[in-house]
């Protein structure tokens, strides 16, 4: 049983760390981006460094006060928000002030950064040394690297560079009792026992609070090419992906599926966003290649276009001829979530499937959802790594609130179909609180039992992000 944050506890915090340790208990910390959860908190604190994080967690452990680690607040599964009916008001621990760049080693392709650095700041620091930190998300100006690690975030470049876990060499983290794990390794090989960093990465703050990380950088591709190609259907898109890999090797950095509905949503709600086609095609892909100086990415994309046309996979396309055109293409893709928000989704899904199952799943899911209601499905996302955002919207002229009673039925249907196709109900957003029940429903019971044992070993009083992941 956890205890509430008392006025005496807050006074003790201020006495020890100064009154500026506190932050206003505002909507910034209490509202989930999709407004599905409104949270509560006994107090919000923003420590300045790892030592203060350690001391605060030690105090909370002693007094059995729940702690929610808070990064940029961009999570979409409620991992950073506790609703009133989910437990005693916790202490929110914001990492916003631990935002320094500790070191960068260009010759090693390594950066050591505090957890509170935004992803955009990480990217800029790498760019300043002519290096690339390839994690790329729509929320990169706000999300923080600690949160990216806690959720094992994905994004558009997973196909080539991997998830956040693959971009991390080591972490510094504070455990529930205030003990500090010092594991900021810069080594590619360190075969000395359990891989504790990978236990913490993706644990969503339930096992420890990541305070810093050693990040893997990459050389920047000398030349980059981008195109949007109209494809016959998702099956053709997957065939085109195989051809792109044959033509360019491992140079495919991104391979994004875009539906005509997604383009139309952007056309309707964001007219300032450039559209590559006068009429929105039913399906298209955005492909990006990063190649050495000796290769011409535009030539490779032309070869891909020709091969796609000859194979009856591609019917039209645009190859960017300038940086401005590349940016326009990416702007369209990155603004699809913003257009979705303006339209208003009934329910959104972050799913992954084996590549061989994708082409069958997409129309199958749409047909089954149509049996529940005459809705629209905007299917888009990271086709190259099997991650789709399969979002359901009301018919044109209707409001999502009219279909709110069907939300749970649609979500259950989609997740059941994903499970039947060998996929996952959470691809890159995590489990949080909104999907904790799904982990029990679809997860392997032995895996869940092991997770509970690990949680009990590292956080025996259950103070770290209570209710997240393991409900």
**pLDDT tens-digit profile of 156-196?**
999 999 999 999 999 999 999 999 999 999 999 999 999 99
Instruction: Quote the number of domains for the chain.
Output: 1
Say what the pLDDT of residue 156 is.
93
Range of the domain at 146: 101-219
Question: Which CATH number does the domain housing residue 207 bear?
Answer: 3.30.465.10
Residues 6+ apart with CB under 8 A from 251: 221, 289, 290, 291, 295, 297, 300
How many angstroms separate the CA atoms of 206 and 263, rounded?
38
Say what the pLDDT of residue 471 is.
77
Backbone phi, psi, residue 398, to 5°: -110, 165
Domain annotation covers residue 152: yes
- pLDDT, average across residues 111-136: 97
End-to-end alpha-carbon separation of the chain, Å? 14
380's enclosing H/E stretch is strand 376-382
pLDDT of 431 strictly over 80: yes
Long-range pairs for 319-325: beta carbons < 8 A, 24 or more residues apart: 319/225, 319/226, 319/227, 320/225, 320/226, 320/227, 325/226
Domain annotation covers residue 166: yes
Length of the chain: 471
> In which band, very low, low, confident or very high, does the pLDDT at 257 lie, cut at 50, 70 and 90?
very high
Longest Cα–Cα distance of the chain, Å, equals 74
How many angstroms separate the CA atoms of 13 and 443, rounded?
40
- pLDDT, average across residues 220-227: 96
> In which band, very low, low, confident or very high, does the pLDDT at 335 lie, cut at 50, 70 and 90?
very high
> In which band, very low, low, confident or very high, does the pLDDT at 32 lie, cut at 50, 70 and 90?
confident
CA distances from 428 to 121, 170, 218, 293 (A): 21, 20, 22, 33
Classify residue 399 as exposed, middle or buried by CB count within 10 Å of its CB (0-12, 13-18, 19+). exposed
Tokens 């298209």 map to which residue? 284
CA distances from 440 to 249, 444, 449, 469 (A): 40, 8, 10, 10
- pLDDT, average across residues 77-93: 93
Domain annotation covers residue 149: yes
Residue pair 317/227 in contact (Cβ under 8 Å)? The answer is yes
> Structure pTM?
0.93
Say what the pLDDT of residue 34 is.
83
Say what the pLDDT of residue 465 is.
97
Tokens 């326009």 map to which residue? 328
Domain annotation covers residue 183: yes
Residue pair 139/63 in contact (Cβ under 8 Å)? The answer is no
| Secondary structure class of 457 (helix, strand, coil) | helix
Domain annotation covers residue 165: yes
How many angstroms separate the CA atoms of 278 and 309, rounded?
20
Domain annotation covers residue 401: no
Residues 6+ apart with CB under 8 A from 153: 135, 137, 143, 147, 163, 164, 428
Say what the pLDDT of residue 348 is.
95
How many angstroms separate the CA atoms of 353 and 147, rounded?
24
Domain annotation covers residue 150: yes
Residue pair 90/41 in contact (Cβ under 8 Å)? The answer is yes
Domain annotation covers residue 72: no
- Chain mean pLDDT for the chain: 96
For residue 310 the two structure tokens come to 């000859």
CA distances from 387 to 111, 131, 145, 162, 352 (A): 28, 27, 21, 12, 4
Say what the pLDDT of residue 33 is.
87
């Amino acid at each position: 049983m956890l205890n509430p944050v008392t006025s005496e506890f807050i006074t003790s915090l201020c006495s020890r760390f100064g009154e500026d340790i506190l932050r206003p208990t505002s909507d910034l910390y209490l509202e989930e981006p999709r407004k599905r959860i409104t949270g509560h908190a006994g107090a919000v604190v923003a420590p300045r460094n790892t030592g203060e994080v350690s001391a605060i967690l030690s105090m909370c452990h002693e007094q059995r006060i729940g702690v929610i680690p808070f990064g940029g607040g961009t999570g979409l599964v409620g991992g950073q928000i506790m609703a009133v009916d989910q437990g005693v008001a916790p202490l929110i621990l914001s990492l916003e002030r631990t935002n320094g760049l500790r070191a960068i080693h260009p010759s090693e392709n390594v950066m050591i950064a505090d957890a509170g650095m935004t992803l955009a700041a990480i990217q800029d620091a790498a760019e300043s040394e002519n290096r690339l930190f390839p994690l790329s998300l729509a929320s990169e100006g706000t999300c923080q690297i600690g949160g990216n690690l806690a959720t094992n975030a994905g994004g558009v470049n997973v196909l080539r560079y991997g998830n956040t876990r693959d971009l991390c060499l080591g972490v510094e983290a504070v455990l529930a009792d205030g003990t500090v794990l010092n594991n900021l390794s810069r080594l590619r090989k360190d075969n000395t026992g359990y891989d504790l960093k990978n236990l913490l990465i993706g644990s969503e703050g339930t096992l420890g609070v990541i305070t810093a990380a050693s990040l893997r950088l990459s050389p920047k591709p000398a030349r980059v090419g981008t195109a949007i190609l109209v494809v016959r259907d998702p099956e053709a898109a997957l065939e085109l992906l195989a051809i792109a890999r044959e033509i360019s090797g491992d140079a495919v950095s991104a391979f994004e599926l875009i539906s005509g509905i997604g383009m139309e949503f952007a056309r309707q709600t964001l007219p300032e966003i450039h559209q590559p086609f006068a009429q929105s095609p039913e399906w298209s892909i955005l492909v990006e290649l990063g190649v050495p100086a000796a290769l011409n990415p535009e030539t490779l994309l032309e070869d891909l276009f020709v091969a796609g046309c000859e194979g009856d996979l591609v019917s039209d396309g645009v190859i960017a001829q300038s940086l401005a055109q590349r940016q326009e293409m990416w702007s369209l893709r990155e603004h699809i979530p913003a257009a979705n928000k303006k339209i208003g989704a009934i329910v959104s899904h972050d799913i992954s499937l084996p590549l061989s199952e994708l082409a069958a799943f997409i129309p199958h899911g749409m047909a089954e959802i149509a049996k529940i209601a005459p809705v629209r499905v905007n299917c888009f996302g990271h086709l190259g790594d099997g991650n789709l955002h399969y979002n359901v919207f009301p018919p044109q002229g209707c409001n999502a609130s009219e279909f709110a009673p069907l939300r749970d039925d649609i979500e259950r249907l989609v997740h059941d179909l994903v499970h039947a196709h060998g996929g996952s109900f959470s691809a890159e957003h995590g489990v949080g609180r909104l999907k904790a029940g799904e982990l029990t429903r679809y997860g392997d019971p032995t895996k869940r039992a092991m997770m509970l044992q690990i949680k009990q070993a590292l956080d025996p009083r259950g103070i770290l992000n209570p209710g997240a992941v393991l409900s």
